[in-house]
Chains A and B, each alone.
Chain A
Amino acid sequence: MDIVEVPVSQDDNGKKRKNKMPKKKKKKEESVSAEGAETKQEEKMEKGESAAAFPPTFSVSEIKNKQRRHVMFMKLKQEKRQQKMQLKKKKKKEREALGDKAPPKEVPKTIENQRVYDETTVDPDDEEVAFDEGTDEFSAYFNGLTNPKVLITTSDRPRGRTVRFCEQLATVIPNAHVYYRRGLALKRVIPQCVARNFTYLIVINEDRKVPNGLVLCHLPDGPTAHFKVSSVRLRKEMKRRGKDPTEHFPEVILNNFSTRLGHSIGRLLAALFPQEPQFVGRQVATFHNQRDFIFFRFHRYIFKNEKKVGIQELGPRFTLKLRSLQKGTFDSKFGEYEWVLKRHEMDACRRKFQL
């Protein structure tokens, strides 16, 4: 009964209570004794505040009044924060006191740390991999025999954003040409491209006026990779961007492609750009793989001194996620798929990545 009465009777004084509570709290913390009519309330307050002292027999969420509940919750949080800070300070002191003998700092667990070991991870001096890479479809490129020539096109009837994206991509990739699709079948397009010595075919798929897919096809029957494209930022949406990219061949940075699959995708992406980058242009195209997302960025860099470099982003940016890798050229029906994203198997574990 008392428990019911107290909030009702003191609802009028709710606001006043709130103001008085901080002061009362201090008093109560000192004196644990219960007093007359406000016993229950104070006990509750006590219990709520000194959660460290008593095991909490009630939780903050049982207070019906929203304002009071909020205040109590804030106090609880503050207390917890204070305790945490004290703990940290103590630990720091201990660490300093020990000096050299202190145990090494604990490294926090990240997803990258906890990554499930993939047995297809490439060892830097793996001979088999080296041999494979020496004889695969890109060996001609990496030996300097062929120069990349890229054809960029879209799906049917592209809308403004996709068209602009294609144009910007064409400025970023040297020796790239944009052609309109006009309803042609890819199977017919491919032999024409091969006849005109193109090495790469990029098809940007569009959905609801926004590019959302990319098919990258290495031409003289090379592998075909199908990516999902997301977060496309065109040049004018970039903050603090530089001038337009020049015609110089950019450098290429490929980060974190560690498994066999990653290696092949890395080579696929690297072969888009000419082998000899022109350092005069100071442009760099980056494909950074993190947790199976490949981030593409295009920067201009300048070395301020030997320890510092400044980079300025030009050019579009987008992220890719590999959906499938096919052995031959693009053939959706009869193609031989080397790798397909199977969501139920591969996305089940948060720490398992394919690239």
Chain B
Amino acid sequence: MQHDDVIWDIIGNQQFCSFKVKTKSQSFCRNEYNITGLCNRSSCPLANSQYATIREEKGQCFLYMKVIERAAFPSRMWEKVKLSKNYEKALEQIDENLIYWPRFLRHKCKQRFTKITQYLIRMRKLVLKRQRKLVPLSRKVERREKRKEEKALIAAQLDNAIEKELLERLKQGTYGDIYNFPIHAFDRALEQQDEESEEEEEDEEEEDDEDVGKREFVAEEEVEESDLSDFEDMNKLRTSSDEEEQDEEEDESSEEEELVEDEEDEQEMEVETKAKSKSKGKSPANGSAARKKRAYVEIEYEQETEPASKSRAT
């Protein structure tokens, strides 16, 4: 026989109920057929032989009913009624099924049904919004990647690579005329001159026989170096310590004017190399560089050249 009171006395108050969860202020019932979720005399499905609940399965709501007549048949104890998807119709169904049942159960069933429909609606809405996808990180993999990255960083030698690339671009002239390093242009020009001179040498050897016996009037002049007119800009760049470079530049520019003439390029190269080799050490600025001792070379001019105007850079 079903003695509800006795059952409640035992499980509710005195002894153990496996569905009961006690907290400081309240106790809850974990039984899946419980309608309110609280552990009460009127909400306990074990202590009430006439009981009804709403449960939801995959978005479908069902009304479960238990009557005392079926208390002896546990497998058939709960009667399951599928509720309509329409909210009002479902409420009517609940009313219809629980028509002579206690007010409490009817009310609570409807409440529960309302709550369930509301959360189902929210679930459907959320699915349409952005979903956050959790991607698991494998610790081993992360560790490995970190190490690989460190090794790759070391292998990359970034600073060197960047510097090299920038210098390449400078050489190729992508920067145009912004930087006053005329050396590059002259290097290239000189290389071209070299090639031409090689050709010319061959030509000259053939022509030497022709020139024998011809007379030319030649001016004898010392090699004069142009003074520093072009290097004010160089001084503005922070190259105060690069006087060696200045010297080289001076030498180069002194050759500049001579380049314009048709001369024997071999001698020019000699002058240049000697000058370069001599100007390795740091020399006091500007003026004295012009007076450095150089190998005296006779250079033939077809036209008279004027020495460059002597303007002292500050």
Q: Name A residues whose Cβ lies closer than 8 Å to a Cβ of B.
A: 110-112, 183, 185-186, 230-231, 251, 253, 255, 279-280, 284, 286, 288, 290-293, 295, 297, 299, 301, 303-307, 309, 311, 319, 321, 332, 343
**Chief secondary structure at chain A's binding surface:** strand
- If A253-B162, A279-B175 touch, whether A305 touches B153 (CB-CB below 8 Å) is no
- A290 and B238 contact, CB distance less than 8 A: no
Q: Which residues of A contact B158 (CB under 8 A)?
A: 286, 288, 295, 297
Q: Which B117-145 residues sit within 8 Å CB-CB of chain A?
A: 129-130, 133, 141, 145
- B178 and A291 contact, CB distance less than 8 A: no
Of the candidate stretches B55-63, B75-83, B163-171, B301-309, the one touching chain A is B163-171
- B175 and A293 contact, CB distance less than 8 A: no
- A303 and B181 contact, CB distance less than 8 A: yes
- If A185-B130, A293-B152 touch, whether A307 touches B167 (CB-CB below 8 Å) is yes
Most buried by A among B167, B183, B184, B238: B167
Query: Can you add 6 more A-B contacts, CB < 8 Å, to A292-B152, A306-B167, A306-B181?
Result: A185-B130, A284-B162, A290-B153, A297-B162, A309-B167, A311-B163
- B181 and A290 contact, CB distance less than 8 A: no
- B129 and A305 contact, CB distance less than 8 A: no
Judged by a CB distance under 8 angstroms, whether B148 is at the interface is: yes
- A290 and B165 contact, CB distance less than 8 A: no
Minimal Cβ-Cβ distance residue in B for A187: B130
Judged by a CB distance under 8 angstroms, whether B179 is at the interface is: yes
In the assembly, what is the distance between CA of A110 and CA of B154, in Å?
12
- B181 and A305 contact, CB distance less than 8 A: yes
How many A-B Cβ pairs are below 8 Å?
A: 88
- A255 and B161 contact, CB distance less than 8 A: yes
Q: Which residues of A contact B151 (CB under 8 A)?
A: 291
- If A255-B161, A255-B165, A291-B148 touch, whether A304 touches B242 (CB-CB below 8 Å) is yes
Query: 10 A-B contacts, Cβ less than 8 Å apart?
Result: A253-B165, A279-B176, A288-B161, A290-B152, A290-B155, A291-B155, A295-B156, A297-B162, A303-B181, A321-B145
Judged by a CB distance under 8 angstroms, whether B245 is at the interface is: yes
Which of A112, A297, A306, A319 lies in contact with B184, CB distance below 8 A?
A306
Judged by a CB distance under 8 angstroms, whether B70 is at the interface is: no
- B178 and A279 contact, CB distance less than 8 A: yes
Which of A111, A183, A255 lies in contact with B155, CB distance below 8 A?
A111
- If A253-B165, A284-B166 touch, whether A304 touches B148 (CB-CB below 8 Å) is no
Q: Which residues of A contact B165 (CB under 8 A)?
A: 253, 255, 286
Q: Which residues of B contact A299 (CB under 8 A)?
A: 162
Q: Which residues of A contact B176 (CB under 8 A)?
A: 279
Minimal Cβ-Cβ distance residue in B for A306: B181
Q: Which residues of B contact A305 (CB under 8 A)?
A: 181, 239, 242, 245
Minimal Cβ-Cβ distance residue in A for B151: A291
Judged by a CB distance under 8 angstroms, whether B89 is at the interface is: no
Q: Which residues of B contact A112 (CB under 8 A)?
A: 155
Judged by a CB distance under 8 angstroms, whether B278 is at the interface is: no
- A309 and B163 contact, CB distance less than 8 A: yes
Q: Which residues of B contact A332 (CB under 8 A)?
A: 133
Q: Which residues of A contact B166 (CB under 8 A)?
A: 253, 284, 301, 303, 309, 311
Tell me the smallest distance from the CB of B246 to a CB of chain A, in Å: 10
Q: Which residues of B contact A301 (CB under 8 A)?
A: 162-163, 166
Judged by a CB distance under 8 angstroms, whether B310 is at the interface is: no
- A319 and B149 contact, CB distance less than 8 A: yes
Judged by a CB distance under 8 angstroms, whether B216 is at the interface is: no
In the assembly, what is the distance between CA of A186 and CA of B131, in Å?
11
Cβ contacts B17-31/A at 8 Å (1 or 0 each): 000000000000000
Judged by a CB distance under 8 angstroms, whether B115 is at the interface is: no
In the assembly, what is the distance between CA of A258 and CA of B84, in Å?
63
Minimal Cβ-Cβ distance residue in B for A185: B130
Tell me the smallest distance from the CB of A212 to a CB of chain B, in Å: 9
Q: Which residues of B contact A183 (CB under 8 A)?
A: 130
Tell me the smallest distance from the CB of A209 to a CB of chain B, in Å: 15
Tell me the smallest distance from the CB of A324 to a CB of chain B, in Å: 12
- B179 and A303 contact, CB distance less than 8 A: yes
Judged by a CB distance under 8 angstroms, whether B159 is at the interface is: yes
- A291 and B242 contact, CB distance less than 8 A: no
Most buried by B among A110, A230, A291, A321: A291
Tell me the smallest distance from the CB of A234 to a CB of chain B, in Å: 18
Minimal Cβ-Cβ distance residue in A for B165: A253
In the assembly, what is the distance between CA of A311 and CA of B166, in Å?
10
Q: Which residues of A contact B162 (CB under 8 A)?
A: 253, 284, 286, 288, 297, 299, 301, 311
- B145 and A306 contact, CB distance less than 8 A: no
Q: Which residues of A contact B239 (CB under 8 A)?
A: 304-305
Tell me the smallest distance from the CB of A352 to a CB of chain B, in Å: 13
In the assembly, what is the distance between CA of A110 and CA of B165, in Å?
22
In the assembly, what is the distance between CA of A307 and CA of B171, in Å?
9
